Each structure stands twice: as C-alpha cells, then as structure tokens.
Amino acid sequence: MIRFENVHKTYKTGTDALRGVTFTIDDGEFVFIIGKSGSGKSTLMKCITREERPTEGYVIIDKFVISKMSSALVPVLRRQIGIIYQDFRLIETKSVEENIAFAGEIIGVPRKKLHQMVDIVLGAVGLRDKASSMPLELSGGEQQRVAIARAMLNSPKLIVADEPTGNLDPETSESIMALLSEINRNGTTVIVCTHDSNMVDRMKKRVIEVDDGLIVRDEHASGYTAEDKTALPKSMIDEFVPEVISLSELEEKEETLPEFPPNPGEEEEEEK
C-alpha cells in the first residue's frame, strides 16, 4: 500500500512541483500517472523512490513513513522497489546478464542462486538468447526489457516506471506495457508515468491525472481523457508478447533449472 498525505514539494528554485497530493494505491494495482509536461509526475514518482523528499506531508509505503525515513535506510527501501527509467540506464560495459545480476550482487545473493534468478527473469522478458549480448547490441525495446528484468530480480512488491516507453516506437511500447501488465497480473503493484494517450486508453487501468502539482482526476478503468471509453483489445498480451511466460509458471520451473558451474572457491564459502 502506498499513501500520499497532502504531499507538497517545493524545489530549492522555488518551483512548487507538488501542491498537496493525497491518494492511496493498494497492493496489486496498476496505475497510470498522466499529465502535461512539468505537471509534477516525475516528482511524484521520485517521492516514492525517495529520490526526492516532500517539503510537507507524508509518503507511506506499508507501515513505513518513507518521507521521514533516515537516509541510511533508503537503500533498503530501494531494494523493495523495481525502478524503470525512460533511458533504460543499463551499464554499457556489462553484458545483459551482468547488468541484471548486478542488482543481486549488491545485496550479496550467492552466485549460483543469482544465476538461476537471472535466468528466470530473462525468460520472463523473453530474452534468454541475449544473455551474453552487450546492451548496445540490442534494440531499444530489448534494452528496456533487460531493464525490466533487472527491476524484477529481487521480486519487488512494487515497480515504478517513469515514461518507460518514451523512447520506443508504438509497437515496441505495446510489448513493454503488456509485459508490465503481465508482471502486475502476477501480483506486483505497478505505477507508470506516461504521455502515451493511446496506450492509456487501451489499457483501461486506474488513471491519476496531475496538473500543476495537483491531482485533478483519479478514475478506475479509465482512459487518457476522461470521456474516452474505448475497449481494451482482448488479447493484448498474447498478441504482442507471445514469448512471455507467467512468473508463477516460471517459479514452478525453478526446481528444474540447470545447475551452473560454481566459481572456484565459491562452494566452500557458501557452505559456511
């Protein structure tokens, strides 16, 4: 559960980016945050990830008032959240699997387990065959799928994505959004900032519209403009991401995944 209580954010420059924002997002929801450029969407997202702190009000995730949380605990918070950016933010000098594994290495997941986890999330985004490719050898859509796999690695309860399809063509955007929708259907809360009105109209999710730092609309199963009521195409997922296997299916398969050879000296360390 995420709660914003009268959140204000005034930047040092004096800009009032958020001017009293209150809403609740329940576990398992899929929510679009929309609004004009400069309306405060990214600021709102950054208050969730604690990249910014409100100047007034509270941001609460589950029982934690994260807006007041000490900086020392922020890395712990971030581990519970999968963050996806418009520009993918992959490390160019690391392969696809190294980019994804990195998120687990930081928190000390044993290497063998990490290999299995990376394989699972790469399977989920349909990129097992690109595991050893370098990011710059991939298309934009593929790079974003890698970023999503990385965000999924620690099985976060929450994924936040700020303009995840901002750099992608419409068809690729569909597949990325379908993937996020699939992750959501498996129980993860997903919050997506976007300008993509067609996508929002088609997906019929909850829409929170921000305008000049205030929420001006909060509707369930809505479209980009309040009047739009076009229906979601029946099989968006099947149509655009045929290779996506549901995460629960993958977890069942986890038992049967091949063992990876341990690095020299690692076996002994793990035994301890």
Q: Which is nearer to ligand ATP, 3 or 19 (CB)?
A: 19
Residue 86 sits in the site that holds Mg ion (CB under 5 A): no
Stretch that binds ligand ATP, among 9-17, 53-61, 93-101, 129-137 (CB under 6 A): 9-17
Beta 64-65 vs 56-61: how paired, if at all? antiparallel
Residue 188 sits in the site that holds ligand ATP (CB under 6 A): no
Q: Which is nearer to Mg ion, 32 or 240 (CB)?
A: 32
Residue 42 sits in the site that holds ligand ATP (CB under 6 A): yes
Residue 38 sits in the site that holds ligand ATP (CB under 6 A): yes
Distances 41 to 96, 161, 188 between C-alpha atoms, Å: 29, 11, 21
Select the residue interacting with ligand ATP from 31, 35, 122, 147 (CB under 6 A): 35
Largest CA distance in the chain: 63
Q: Kindly state the tokens that stand for 103.
A: 């998120």
Stretch that binds ligand ATP, among 10-18, 68-76, 113-121, 220-228 (CB under 6 A): 10-18
Which helix H or strand E contains 57, and what residues bound it? strand 56-61
Distances 3 to 33, 48, 180 between C-alpha atoms, Å: 14, 9, 22
Q: Which is nearer to ligand ATP, 166 or 262 (CB)?
A: 166
- Shortest distance, position 42 Cβ to Mg ion, whole Å: 3
Which helix H or strand E contains 16, and what residues bound it? strand 16-25
Residue 39 sits in the site that holds ligand ATP (CB under 6 A): yes
Stretch that binds ligand ATP, among 30-38, 53-61, 107-115, 124-132 (CB under 6 A): 30-38
Q: Please choose which of ligand ATP, Mg ion, none residue 139 contacts, taking the beta carbon within 5 to 8 angstroms, the exact cut-off set by kind.
A: none
Nearest residue to 143 (alpha-carbon basis) of 176, 180, 105, 106: 176
Residue 15 sits in the site that holds ligand ATP (CB under 6 A): yes
Residues 178, 244: Cα–Cα separation, whole Å? 9
Stretch that binds Mg ion, among 15-23, 34-42, 83-91, 110-118 (CB under 5 A): 34-42
Hey, what amino acid is at 138? L
Residue 43 sits in the site that holds ligand ATP (CB under 6 A): yes
Beta 189-193 vs 158-162: how paired, if at all? parallel
- Shortest distance, position 86 Cβ to Mg ion, whole Å: 8
Residue 95 sits in the site that holds Mg ion (CB under 5 A): no
Residue 50 sits in the site that holds ligand ATP (CB under 6 A): no
102: burial class by Cβ within 10 Å (0-12, 13-18, 19+)? middle
Residues 135, 75: Cα–Cα separation, whole Å? 25
Residue 42 sits in the site that holds Mg ion (CB under 5 A): yes
